[in-house]
Amino acid sequence: MHIPDAYLSPATEAVAFGVMIPVWMVATRKSAAHISSRKVPMLAIGSAFCFAIQMFNIPAFGGTTAHALGAVLLAILVGPWAAILGMSLTLAIQALLFGDGGILSFGANCFDMALVAPMVGYGIYRLLCGRDLSNIRRITLAGAVGAFFGTAAASLAAGVILGLQPLVAHDLSGRALYCPFGLDISVPAMVGTHLIVVGPAEAILTVGCLAYLYRTFPEHFESQSRVRVGTQLRLIRMLGWILALTPLGLIASGSAWGEWELEEIKKMVGYEPKGLAQSHPVFHPILPDYGFHGMTAGWWLVVGYLVSALLGCGVVGLFVYGLFRHAKSDSVRSVQLHSCKSDIPDWLTKPNPPIQESHRVKAPWFERTLLRIQASLEKTSDSDATARAPGFLQTIQPAPKMLVILMLLITVGMSQSNWVLSGIAVGVVGLALTSRIPMGAMIVRVGGAVIFFGLIVAIPVSFREGTFRVSGLVASATILLRLADGIALALLWRQTTRWNALLNSLKQCGLSATMVTTANLSYRYLFVVFEMLAEMVQARTSRQVGACSAQEARRYMGNGTAVLFAKSVAFTEEMHWAMTSRTLPTSRHMADPDRWTARDGLAVLTSLTILILTVFHGSLHAF
Amino acid sequence: MLFDLRNVSYRYPDGSFALESVSASIENGDRTVVLGANGSGKSTLLRILDGLLFPTDGEVYFQGSLLSEHSLKSVDSSSTFRQSVGFVFQNADAQLFNATVFEELAFGPVQLGLSKTEVQERVTGILGFLGIGHLSDRPPFRLSGGEKRKVVIASVLTMNPEVLILDEPFLGLDPRSQTWLVNTLKQIQSAGKTTIVATHSLETVPLIADKAIVLGEDHRVLRIGSAADILEDLPLLRSANLIGD
Ligand SMILES: Nc1ncnc2c1ncn2[C@@H]1O[C@H](COP(=O)(O)OP(=O)(O)OP(=O)(O)O)[C@@H](O)[C@H]1O
Ligand SMILES: [Mg+2]
């Protein structure tokens, strides 16, 4: 769901920021009043944790992948306002440190994942949960339903934002300038995957964590005392309504969009989305007959959504049931145990019986994920080393550097000329060389993203009525160049700036002190969580006999996330104690505003000139 | 020969040296300790023996076959290896990854493909043996330091490995539990199993080992020899910074 920079038009990005900035301000005020200093570490570790679980990509249809968000879980644990901040923080770290999601599209990504997901999810959770916070079954069930629909809502929002792009941004001949897929494609693609794969995964994750945390840290649940009325009957009725209404909402808008859009798209973009929809592998498993045969397609869509929503809820229900059955048998077993010491068990002095191997198969997905995590661990330490190296960009202060990069990113976003974009690309390479950025890694990162995202966009833009056209190729080159420039610029920024310095520059732009503290902690905890994760993986490896089966891998994932989270929470408690006992003023050790040097001023002026010239040049061509 | 290390060096990804051309061999049934000052590379050596890290230079052989990332990828060889070698981490927290103590202890036997009743029997047996039955339903990371250590040791014992590698197993145990651990190790050793222990508690060394590998602060082997001789050799212990002047 992380939208990269070149996918959205600058106008959309501006609107998204326009929505998010007041939301962030309100959230900061609300959560500052609501969140005790003890919950700051919790929020920080929560963000770090969300980050970690977002790295576990679940295979979805047609070779694509998706991941859980953790947003609703965070909202339940720290409250919805704080969750908005926490998720935004996670997304910021992802965008800045790992290049997941763009910088200018940060607002839009926050809108989907940091606003819509926790708010919708938490709202449903509170509605279903009602007054009674002592019934763990009810809490987890409400959490599961909330997580499911929170994720679905976020994916709907992302689908709509993407799908609006061909309508709001196209050139004079009607060609899409940014994401070329209309609503009819982007919405089912996003929502479909998230209803069938991610929603249930999210719900299971939330249930697992909630149930386990409830057992391990009951105190985190007692403190929630704000109340809304609710009875058992209402709960059931409500659940029914939500289930029934969601797909209805989708038809109402879906068919309207669909019909209106096919005409629009044909006119504006000049190619049939129908052929595209049929050839795109994503849709076949979901909607076998998808292809706009009037209303029938609409009805298929509804049936599909309804079935998948029911399926999702069914899976979650079964999971909750299994979870508690399991928990019960645990407590029965413990009764027979007693704590007196006995002699060395017989089997310990004998060799093991031979083991049967037949049921074991490899789970490459699981192992791949572990490798990915290890790789990214190494990457983070790399990037910090670069930030300390003596290079050109490293000598520019964080605040002016932020201005420079943002202006260049805006230039890239607005420019429609391949010459300007190529020029910026050359400049970026020059900057990277003078800043001692490892070029190999940069090429892999930018090239990988261009191939992965770019081809999905570039082929439909350049392929019209069965042939490649020169104008199409030029247009797709623009999109690819923009993508490459955006990613490379973001990479330059984060590779040459240390997280602390970056936060400092944000603080000078008015970020609140609580947020800065949380962000600081969050970043530190990120490494803690990763370290813990790596240790857990190592510990498991050392006791893992043979490869684990797919089923075991899934079980381990479910269990593992809950334990990881609980472990991190326990750890933050200790860390908080350690901090308290040394009475470190957590928010006060940020440096004073940096003094700008001539070099900083020059850099800002240069990029401003580039921006102005590009806009001027663009408007000359447009009118 | 059980383990054969040939000129093993290890550098962590951040560039810090942990081992420098270490050569050593460990026979079946050996009772070995690894001694060395803080940061000399004991834990790294043990992790290499357990196939969690792989030498950046040199080779490790287990029962005559090369231990490498590649060879451990194949299901068969990794299952025999993991089944016969058990490892207790220095950091107990790191090793606990299950939701309850019971699950933690059951993880190994389940891996071995034992039946439900056998698993149950093993876990209850070991819980009784360590006297920690009352902890069975607690989450492992909310235990006291010594309790964690016991759970970690128990979780490896339930797998009943032929080779037991322990990294600082006495850390945080009360005196009574230390005696218990020494006795348990003796019983396991007399059943013919191999033990490799890294420790700073020199007084327990003669009780649990015949052979010692001493690592110097330059991450090289200072001496390999009989544990009793090495404990007598005060200049050696001093140059390894194991004892003060
Ligand atoms: N994960 C790691 N990354 C980088 N360097 C490491 C890592 N772990 C250990 N080192 C370094 O490798 C060297 C050897 O460490 P090791 O943990 O093997 O020492 P040790 O002998 O077990 O010490 P101790 O007695 O304190 O447990 C040390 O210098 C240490 O700083
Ligand atoms: Mg050690």
Q: For chain A, say whether B160 makes contact (Cβ under 8 Å).
A: yes
Q: Which of A36-40, A182-186, A377-381, B75-79 has the highest mean pLDDT?
A: A182-186
Q: What is the pLDDT of residue B35?
A: 94
Identify the pLDDT of residue B219.
93
Q: Which of B94, B131, B188 sits opposite A348 (nearest CB)?
A: B188
Name the more confident of A207 and A449: A207
pLDDT at A328: 42
Mean per-residue pLDDT over chain A, rounded: 68
> CA angle A520-A522-A525, nearest 5°?
115
Question: What pLDDT was estimated at residue A462?
Answer: 59
| Residues of chain B numbered 7-66 and touching chain A (CB < 8 Å) | 13-14, 50, 52
Kindly determine whether residue B82 and residue A542, on different chains, have CB atoms separated by under 8 Å.
Answer: yes
Rounded to the nearest angstrom, the gap between the alpha carbon of residue A552 and the centroid of all alpha carbons in its chain is 26
Cα-based distances in Å from A50 to A73, A97, A205, A518? 9, 15, 11, 14
Mean pLDDT of A201-207: 81
Q: What is the pLDDT of residue B28?
A: 92
B52 touches A541 (CB < 8 A)? yes
Of A347, A318, A375, nearest to A200 by C-alpha is A318
The verdict on a CB contact (< 8 Å) between B137 and A562 is no
Distance, in Å, from the CA atom of B182 to the CA atom of B169, rounded to the nearest integer, reads 10
Shortest CA distance from B98: residue in chain A: A563
Give the Cα separation of B136 and A545 in Å (integer): 23
* Residue ranges around ligand 1 (CB below 6 Å): B 12, 14, 16, 18, 36, 38-44, 90
**Interface contact flag, B82 A544, Cβ < 8 Å:** yes
Contact state of A334 with B102 under an 8 Å Cβ cutoff: yes
Q: Which pLDDT score is estimated for A62?
A: 44
**pLDDT, tens digit, for every residue of A505-514?**
777 767 766 6
Identity of the amino acid at A179: C
Nearest by Cα to B131 from A352, A346, A335, A344: A344
Q: How far is the CA of B92 from the centre of ligand 1 (A)?
A: 16
The predicted complex's ipTM stands at 0.73
pLDDT the model gives residue B164: 93
Residue B141 touches partner A, C-beta closer than 8 Å: yes
Q: Which of A87-96, A159-168, A421-430 has the highest mean pLDDT?
A: A421-430
Q: Any idea which of A150-159, A277-286, A320-329, B140-149 has the lowest mean pLDDT? A: A277-286
**Cα separation, B76 vs B85, whole angstroms:** 14
> In this predicted structure, what is the pLDDT of residue B71?
78
Report residue A603's pLDDT band, with 50, 70 and 90 as the boundaries. Answer: confident
pLDDT number for residue B93: 80
Tens digit of each residue's pLDDT, chain B (245 residues): 899 999 999 998 777 889 999 999 999 999 999 999 999 999 999 999 988 888 999 999 998 889 887 777 666 666 778 888 899 988 888 788 777 888 889 888 887 878 888 889 999 999 988 888 888 888 887 788 889 999 999 999 998 899 999 999 998 888 988 998 998 899 889 988 999 999 998 889 999 999 999 999 999 999 999 999 999 998 998 888 888 77
B180-206, pLDDT tens digit by residue?
899 889 988 998 899 999 999 888 999
Residue B141: which of B177, B92, B103, B108 has the closest Cα? B92
Q: Cite the DSSP H helix spans in A169-231.
A: 183-193, 199-216, 219-222
In this structure, the residue with its CA closest to atom 11 of ligand 1 is: B18
- Of residues A405 and A175, the one with the higher pLDDT is A405
In the prediction, which pLDDT does B151 show? 92
Q: Radius of gyration of chain B from Cα atoms?
A: 18
Question: In the sheet where B17-26 sits, what is the strand order?
Answer: B17-26, B3-11, B57-62, B65-66
Domain ranges of chain B: 3-90+163-239
Of the pLDDT bands very low, low, confident and very high (cuts 50, 70, 90), residue A500 is: confident
How far is the C-alpha of A29 from the C-alpha of A335, rounded, in Å?
Answer: 49
Residues A117-132: tens digit of each pLDDT: 999 999 998 888 876 6
Closest CA to A614 of A334, A333, A475, A423: A423
Residue A284, pLDDT score: 29
Candidate from A212, A341, A563 with C-beta closest to B128: A341
pLDDT in tens, A291-323: 333 334 455 555 655 565 565 556 555 555 554
Nearest ligand to the CA atom of A531: 1
Minimal Cβ distance to A349: which of B75, B103, B191: B191
**pLDDT interval class at A460 (50, 70, 90):** low
Ligand 1 centroid distance, CA of B41 (Å): 6
A233 band by pLDDT with thresholds 50, 70 and 90: very low
Considering only the beta carbons, identify the residue of B82, B122, B187 that sits closest to A545: B82
Residue B41 alpha carbon to ligand 2 centre in Å: 7
DSSP designation for B53: S
Q: Which atom of ligand 1 is least distant from the CA of B46?
A: 18
pLDDT reported for residue A356: 60
Q: Nearest-CA distance from B243 to chain A in Å?
A: 31
Q: Whose CA is nearest to atom 12 of ligand 1?
A: B18
According to the model, what pLDDT value does residue B41 have? 93
From chain A, the residues in CB contact with B14 under 8 A are: 381
Distance B188 CA to ligand 2 centre (A): 23
In this predicted structure, the answer to whether residue A354 has a pLDDT above a threshold of 80 is no
Burial class of residue A140 in the structure, from the number of CB atoms within 10 Å of its CB (0-12 exposed, 13-18 middle, 19+ buried): buried
pLDDT bin (cut points 50, 70, 90) of residue A444 is confident
**pLDDT at position B241, please?**
86
The residue-averaged pLDDT of A173-179 equals: 63
Is the sign of the CA dihedral A28, A34, A36, A40 positive or negative?
Answer: negative
Scanning the structure block, which residue is given the tokens 């472990």?
A567
* Residues B57 and B227 sit within 8 Å (Cβ to Cβ): no
- With a cut of 60, say whether residue A385 has pLDDT above it: yes
Say how many residues make up chain A. Answer: 623
Residues of chain B with Cβ-Cβ distance to A356 below 8 Å are 113
The conformation of residue A176, written as its DSSP 8-state character, comes to: B
Task: Give yes or no for residue A596 having a pLDDT over 80.
Answer: no
Residues A215, B87: C-beta atoms closer than 8 Å: no
Q: Which residue of A has its CA nearest to B82?
A: A545
Q: What mean pLDDT comes out for the span A322-342? A: 47
- Taken in order of first residue, the domains within chain A and their CATH numbers are 10-331 (1.10.1760.20), 389-497+597-622 (no CATH)
Is A349 touching B (CB cutoff 8 A)? yes
Query: Which residue lies with its CA nearest to atom 2 of ligand 1?
Result: B12
CA of B153 to the centre of ligand 1 (A): 21
In chain B, what residues touch A575 (CB-CB under 8 Å)? none
Range A203-219 average pLDDT: 74
Q: Does A566 touch chain B (CB under 8 A)?
A: yes
CATH number, span B3-90+163-239: 3.40.50.300
- Which residue of A349, A542, A559 is in closest CB contact with B98? A559
